[in-house]
Chain A
Amino acid sequence: MYTTQVADHIAHPRNVGELESPSGVGDVTNEVCLDRIKLTIRVDGSRLTDAKVKAQGCPPTIAVASVLTELIIDRPLEEVESLTREEVVRSLGRLPAAKMHCASLGIDALRAAIGDLQQ
């Protein structure tokens, strides 16, 4: 049902935690399934330099949260801002159709964290 990439992120989630004094925080919950992703990011200048994530919910949500941090750390903010759900899914191989909303939740957390920057 799930790819080896998803399984790997479940077994070894990356960058788990919450940054001390983050530049931005994105804490989002899917009201239907109650899955939650809380992403904290650090931005220096025009670069996203660090990120940590906490998540609760089904396997794809945990995997998305984990892989999201890998996709955004040490990247130009501009690039990070245009990260798509499809790219997240691709980095996990694929997700069952019914679990695509987990990837959306990840993007929502990212957007919320970036939105928080501009506050």
Chain B
Amino acid sequence: MRIYLDNSATTAVAPEVIDAMLPYFSEEIGNAQSVHSFGQRAKAAVERARRQVADLINSSATEVVFVSGGTEADNLAVHGVAEAHRDHGRHIITTKIEHPAVLSTCESLEQAGFRVTYLPVSGRGRVSVDDVRAAIGSDTILVSVMHANNETGTIQPIEELADVVATARERGASHLHFHTDAVQSVGKVAVDVKRLRVDLLSLSGHKIHGPKGVGALYVRKGVRLSKLMLGGHHERDRRAGTENVPGIVGLGCAAELARLQLGERQERMGELRDYLERQIAADVSDVRVNGDAENRVPNVANLSFDGVDGESLLIALDLKGIAVSTGSACASGSLEPSHVLQAMALTREQIRGSLRFSLSAYTTREEIDCAVAAVAETVNRLREMIPTDELSASNLALS
């Protein structure tokens, strides 16, 4: 029995997506830049996918840049704005809970002379709109705040932040840009660039039942960006490199499925996630939900189990065929506590005992029932192993 509840790390590719991609491996093999008909057909497929992604986020097709994934999209957004606008300002605002792709790019820019403000978050993992407003200065060129956090699923107040950015621009911050990493929100909640009023938005294929190795960056018309990938004029001269045609076709198909099925997926996942939390609470004592239960994506449950080591719980569940994660996928193997949970001021014990369950549109109730039973059995078993503080009476007798 294998139950996969780590969909925030990656998802299975949908069967429709595989079908859509297949012809582009052996039949429609053209390089989309080639002039001959092989190439032109590949190019048409890329442009079709571009429209599918654009439709998902309500942008124009020309505003969609295909990249190799969420990480590259984040790198391109942050680095791209910083380099293109460095003569107008060197200040960037972000949060402490961003994905490492944003944080590492910011750190690298700090080495290059930029100033970065890493804003704190509340105990529920939300950034304060007032903090952002207060942090914006005359030399701020970028605000980057993720739409939904990968570890807790907490949704940030992007629309309110867009208001703050708009006001700042009216008051003279003409080179201020607003980026959101929507890798964990796309396909889970409505993501509309016109409503969010962002300048840049990152998304990733393998989080929405598309293939790994492909993603997109929405770049609002008129936004100037410095290129990261050099060596060609692909993607309207924004990102060089032969197009990953099968991957892009897959992303397009996944985007279309996400758009058409959004309502249904949201409802299903939300119901099952809430059911998971209720059932675990019924069978296991001393469990805490981390994050903002009212403002989060419908498929994530980040729970802390008192007294139990999350890693031990994870390994034990893995042996029962159940896949979950502790911290984030990027941090696995690094043995470092989650920077997100730390920023939320969870205690060391709470962070240590935390597990992230992340469902998909394909998760079934049976799988949840199985997982709950396994979690209950394992937590209770590990808790039984906790040493007591009693000294044995005979200890004294022998001495």
Contact = CB atoms under 8 A, between A and B. Distances in A.
Interface of A: 1-2, 6-7, 10-11, 13, 16, 18-25, 27, 34-38, 40, 54-59, 61-62, 65, 98, 116-117, 119
A6 B384 CA distance: 19
B309 A58 contact: yes
Given A18-B392, A119-B398, A27 B311 contact: no
Contacts of A27: 387
B309 A57 contact: yes
Given A16-B385, A38-B387, A117-B398, 14 more contacts: A1-B333, A6-B315, A10-B315, A10-B319, A13-B385, A21-B393, A25-B392, A34-B352, A37-B387, A54-B385, A55-B385, A56-B309, A56-B385, A59-B311
A40 B312 contact: no
B20 to A, nearest CB: 35
Contact of A40 (B316, B392, B393): B392
Contacts of A58: 309, 311-312
Given A13-B385, A54-B386, A56-B309, A25 B395 contact: yes
Interface string B244-273: 000000000000000000000000000000
A27 B384 CA distance: 16
A40 B335 CA distance: 30
B26 interface: no
B394 interface: yes
13 contacts: A10-B315, A16-B385, A18-B388, A21-B393, A22-B395, A24-B395, A27-B387, A38-B387, A38-B388, A62-B309, A62-B382, A65-B385, A119-B395
Interface string B294-311: 000000000000010101
Contacts of A25: 391-392, 395
Given A22-B392, A40-B392, A59-B309, A54 B387 contact: yes
Contact of A57 (B312, B333, B348, B395): B312
Contacts of B390: 18
A39 to B, nearest CB: 9
Given A19-B392, A23-B398, A98-B335, A56 B319 contact: no
Interface residues of B, number: 29
A56 B386 contact: yes
A34 B309 CA distance: 10
A116 B395 contact: yes
A59 B385 contact: no
A94 to B, nearest CB: 15
Contacts of B111: none
- Minimum-distance CB pairs A-B, first 5: A38-B387, A21-B394, A119-B399, A54-B387, A11-B319
B286 to A, nearest CB: 14
Interface in B281-333: 307, 309, 311-312, 315-316, 318-320, 333
Contact of A7 (B319, B333, B352, B393): B319
Given A7-B319, A18-B392, A119-B398, A62 B387 contact: no
A81 B311 CA distance: 31
Contacts of A54: 385-388
A23 B348 CA distance: 35
B306 to A, nearest CB: 11
A1 B325 CA distance: 14
Contacts of A24: 395, 398
Contacts of A36: 387
Given A1-B333, A57-B309, A119-B399, A22 B387 contact: no
Contact of A59 (B312, B394, B397): B312
B317 to A, nearest CB: 10
A11 B395 contact: no
A118 to B, nearest CB: 9
Given A19-B392, A21-B393, A62 B319 contact: no
B156 to A, nearest CB: 32
Contacts of B382: 56, 62
A50 B39 CA distance: 74
